[in-house]
């Protein structure tokens, strides 16, 4: 039998340089499938940026091949780029995912005023054919219900993508990982395993989500005032445990924060969050209950400045405030980059004097990702011929690769990739292919823009040093320097009248020297003014604010 000549190309466009913006292309001949379309939140090195997206230019360039988009679960780092991608695609490509995930996506698209695409619901055991791809879905446990793994077969070979997972034996909704399916696929053959690496540096097993429930109930039962619980609004298992504990001890659940209100509503409508309507209340409803009879579910576990928890901690919420008699539970781990924001919220709460519970002092949070022993169990069950760690920073990917080596897998069969790298799967064998252009794009207000280091440099300079403007008037034909006006904003160094006069003199002297040497252009005059004023400020005050020269001909 002749060997297959068409390879399967696996192209990660995001997710291999941090926890976020997960997106992977699977391409076989004239057929292409996209798994996940996530975003990442900006860090301190990206001032003013709202969101960070993977550069999906390759998908747009090959749109005619795209047969469908598969979303493994409903977290932002797997769904957040979808609105922007769908705006750029010319065709209504079908989106395949679980009922809950599609519900979350529909709400997200409505915020962007987008017409819902062709939603196709899938679940554990679902099978579909997209061109040359035969795809099966299987249940996984994660910190959100209805998380799915994907097993795909092509004429070139087979791939299993775990999605985000941990091997929780006592999940809140009773739906455990589909071990039978994983073992069945192992028997059929898994040429390449792509597995979640988030907790690859953590030894042992990740505790079950059920371990959090007793601690939540203890705090909610014994708090003298209200209990505020900040969590990810998509963490439906956690929200269910808060609701169960609240109802059990006779407290009503008040919901605040836009995404929390939206997601609890969607989850209840779709049957994933169970609480009687009389026990759950919107924060803006005109209903009053005693403080010791309420629990507030809110956004803000990552210290977001505009979140409900932040506004309450700073006394800026329209209907709720936190007092010294209350308790606050931060039921999440800070996403890398958010540590300062979370610390700021905790400090604000500490000034109020309320009781504060987080994972550092109480078991009010467990990860949704498997630790080392679970990752090894996945490798043992899947028995892959080749392995590609995904979903993590470089340290996580390499730690996961080490686990595979410890279990006997050869280095030649382990592939640690970067975004844009291409793996070639052909006749069950994996190798490196030609990389594609990749990177990130930024959502900055209404603009979608490429990475521009000069923009970030200028913004950081403005934030740290301030700005000084220098307006110079010159006679027509630039033969004589007229008035010079210097103004500053955000500069801590006081520019007195005397210093201002000296700065003007320095600029005038530099420009007159240029004129003596010939007839300078406007751009040459701007450059001369900038250099002269920058040098003067540095020699006088040791500051380097942004200097903006403006040359006006009169």
**Strand-by-strand arrangement of the 8-14 sheet:** 119-121, 95-97, 66-70, 31-35, 23-28, 8-14, 423-426, 429-432
Q: What are phi and psi of 88, to 5 degrees?
A: -90, -20
SS3 content of the chain, % helix, strand, coil (to 5): 35, 25, 40
Residue 348 φ/ψ region, left for φ over 0, alpha for ψ in the -120 to 50 degree band, beta for the rest: alpha
Residue of 55, 168, 196, 358 marked catalytic: 196
3-state class of 437 per DSSP?
coil
pLDDT in tens, 68-117: 999 999 999 999 999 999 999 998 899 999 999 999 999 889 888 888 78
Please answer whether residues 93 and 264 qualify as being in contact, where contact means their C-beta atoms are separated by less than 8 angstroms. Answer: no
DSSP structure class, residue 25: E
Four-residue CA torsion sign, 337, 342, 344, 347: negative
Residue 323 φ/ψ region, left for φ over 0, alpha for ψ in the -120 to 50 degree band, beta for the rest: beta
Q: Where are the beta strands (DSSP E) in 111-199?
A: 119-121, 127-130, 133-140, 147-154, 157-161, 192-196
Please answer whether residues 255 and 226 qualify as being in contact, where contact means their C-beta atoms are separated by less than 8 angstroms. Answer: no
43 is catalytic: no
Instruction: List the chain pLDDT tens, one digit each, 554 residues.
Output: 346 689 999 999 999 988 889 999 999 999 999 999 999 877 666 656 678 899 999 999 999 999 999 999 999 999 999 999 999 999 889 999 999 999 999 988 988 888 878 999 999 999 999 999 999 999 999 999 999 999 999 999 999 999 999 999 999 999 999 999 999 999 999 999 999 999 999 999 999 999 999 999 999 999 999 999 999 999 999 999 999 999 999 999 999 998 999 999 999 999 999 999 999 998 888 668 899 999 999 999 988 888 999 999 999 898 899 999 999 999 998 877 778 889 999 999 999 999 999 999 999 999 999 999 999 999 999 999 999 999 999 999 999 999 999 999 999 999 999 999 999 999 989 999 999 988 888 766 655 666 666 566 666 667 777 888 999 888 766 567 888 888 888 887 777 888 888 888 998 898 888 888 777 888 888 898 889 989 998 888 888 888 888 888 87
3-state class of 158 per DSSP?
strand
Q: Which residues contact 5 (CB under 8 A, 6 or more apart)?
A: none
pTM of the model: 0.84
CA distance 258 to 256: 7
CA distance 455 to 447: 14
Angle at 518 between CA 515 and CA 519, to 5 degrees: 75
pLDDT of residue 447: 58
Residue of 235, 237, 369, 391 marked catalytic: 369
Domains and CATH numbers, the chain: 8-204+367-450 (3.60.15.10), 209-357 (3.40.50.10710), 453-553 (3.10.20.580)
Q: Where are the beta strands (DSSP E) in 369-480?
A: 386-390, 423-426, 429-432, 440-444, 447-450, 467-474
164 is catalytic: no
* CA 508 to chain CA centroid, nearest Å: 50
**Strand-by-strand arrangement of the 252-256 sheet:** 280-282, 252-256, 294-298, 227-230, 327-330, 355-357
Least Cα distance to 209 among 178, 182, 179, 231 occurs for: 231
pLDDT in tens, 413-459: 999 999 999 999 999 899 999 999 888 887 666 556 666 665 666 66
Do β-strands 133-140 and 147-154 pair in parallel, antiparallel, or remain unpaired?
A: antiparallel
Q: Can you list the alpha helix ranges (DSSP code H) found in 198-235?
A: 212-222
Four-residue CA torsion sign, 146, 152, 158, 163: negative
DSSP string of 99-129, one letter each residue: HHHHHHHHHHHHHTTPPP--EEE--TT-EEE
């Amino acid at each position: 039998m002749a060997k297959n000549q068409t390879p399967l190309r696996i192209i990660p466009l995001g997710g291999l340089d941090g926890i976020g913006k997960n997106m992977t292309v699977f391409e076989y001949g004239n057929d292409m499938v996209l798994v996940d379309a996530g975003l990442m939140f900006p860090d301190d090195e990206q001032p003013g940026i709202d969101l960070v997206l993977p550069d999906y230019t390759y998908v747009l360039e090959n749109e005619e091949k795209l047969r469908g988009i598969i979303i493994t679960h409903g977290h932002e780092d797997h769904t957040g780029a979808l609105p922007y991608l769908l705006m750029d695609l010319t065709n209504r490509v079908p989106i395949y995912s679980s009922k809950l995930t599609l519900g979350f996506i529909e709400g997200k698209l409505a915020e962007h005023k987008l017409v819902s695409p062709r939603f196709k619901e899938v679940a554990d055991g679902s099978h579909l054919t997209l061109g040359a791809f035969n795809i099966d879905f299987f249940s996984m446990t994660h910190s959100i219900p209805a998380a799915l793994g994907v097993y795909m077969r092509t004429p070139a070979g087979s791939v299993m993508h775990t999605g985000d997972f941990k091997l929780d034996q006592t999940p809140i909704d009773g739906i455990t990982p589909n071990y039978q399916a994983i073992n069945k696929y192992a028997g059929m053959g898994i040429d390449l395993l792509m597995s979640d690496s988030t907790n690859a540096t953590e030894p042992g097993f990740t505790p079950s989500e059920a371990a959090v429930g007793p601690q939540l109930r203890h705090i909610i039962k014994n708090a003298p005032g209200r209990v505020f619980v900040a969590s990810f609004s998509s963490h439906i298992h956690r929200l269910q445990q808060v609701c169960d504990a609240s109802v059990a001890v006779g407290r009503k659940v008040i919901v605040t924060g836009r995404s929390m209100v939206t997601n609890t509503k969607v989850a209840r409508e779709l049957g994933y969050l169970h609480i009687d309507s009389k026990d759950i209340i919107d924060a803006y409803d005109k209903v009053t209950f005693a403080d010791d009879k309420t629990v507030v579910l809110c956004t803000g576990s990552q210290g977001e400045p505009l979140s409900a928890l932040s506004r309450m901690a700073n006394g800026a919420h329209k209907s709720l405030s936190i007092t010294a008699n209350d308790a606050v539970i931060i039921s999440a781990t800070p996403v890398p980059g958010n540590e300062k924001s979370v610390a700021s919220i905790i400090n604000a709460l500490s000034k109020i004097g309320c009781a504060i519970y987080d994972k550092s002092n109480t078991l009010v949070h467990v990860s949704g990702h498997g630790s080392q022993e679970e990752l090894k169990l996945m490798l043992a069950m899947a028995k892959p011929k080749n392995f590609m760690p995904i979903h993590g920073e470089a340290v996580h990917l390499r730690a996961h690769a080490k686990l595979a080596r410890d279990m006997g897998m050869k280095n030649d069969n382990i592939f640690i990739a970067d975004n844009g790298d291409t793996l070639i799967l052909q006749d069950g064998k994996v190798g490196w292919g030609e990389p594609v252009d990749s990177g990130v794009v930024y959502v900055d207000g209404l603009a979608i823009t490429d990475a521009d280091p000069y923009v970030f440099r200028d913004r950081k300079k403005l934030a740290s040093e301030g700005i000084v403007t220098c307006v110079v008037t010159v006679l027509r034909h630039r033969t004589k320097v007229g008035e010079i006006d210097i103004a500053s904003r955000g500069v801590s160094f006081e520019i007195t009248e005397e210093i201002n006069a000296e700065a003007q003199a320095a600029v005038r002297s530099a420009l007159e020297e240029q004129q003596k040497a010939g007839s300078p252009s406007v751009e040459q005059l701007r450059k001369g003014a900038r250099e002269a004023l920058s040098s003067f400020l540095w020699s006088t005050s040791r500051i380097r604010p942004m200097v903006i020269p403006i040359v006006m001909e009169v």
